[in-house]
Amino acid sequence: MNMYAAPNPEIPGCPRGLEYLTQVDQLLVKQKVELVEALIGFESNNKYEVRNAMGQNVFYAVEENDCLSRQCCGPLRPFTIHILDNFGQEVITITRPLKCMSCFFPCCLQELEVQAPPGNTVGFVKQQWHPLSPKFLVANEHNEPVLKIHGPFCGWSCLPDVDFEILTMDEVSKIGKISKQWTGLLREAFTDSDNFGIQFPMDLDVRMKAVMIGACFLIDFMFFESTN
Instruction: Report if residue 216 sits inside a domain.
Output: yes
3-class DSSP state of 30: strand
Instruction: Report if residue 85 sits inside a domain.
Output: yes
181 and 196 Cβ atoms separated by less than 8 Å: yes
Instruction: Report if residue 10 sits inside a domain.
Output: no
pTM: 0.84
> Residues of the chain whose pLDDT is less than 50?
1, 38-42, 184-192, 227-228
- Give the structural domain span for 176: 19-224
pLDDT digits (tens, 9 = 90+) for 155-169: 555 556 789 999 999
CATH of the domain at 171: 2.40.160.200
Instruction: Identify the pLDDT of residue 19.
Output: 94
How remote is the C-alpha of 110 from its chain's centroid? Answer: 13
Count of domains forming the chain:
1
Instruction: Report if residue 24 sits inside a domain.
Output: yes
Instruction: Identify the pLDDT of residue 13.
Output: 83
Residues in the chain: 228
pLDDT digits (tens, 9 = 90+) for 18-46: 999 999 999 999 988 765 554 444 456 78
137 and 148 Cβ atoms separated by less than 8 Å: yes
The DSSP H or E segment spanning 122 is: strand 121-128
Instruction: Identify the pLDDT of residue 71.
Output: 57
Instruction: Report if residue 187 sits inside a domain.
Output: yes
8 and 29 Cβ atoms separated by less than 8 Å: no
- Quote the Cα angle for 172-50-178, to 5°: 20
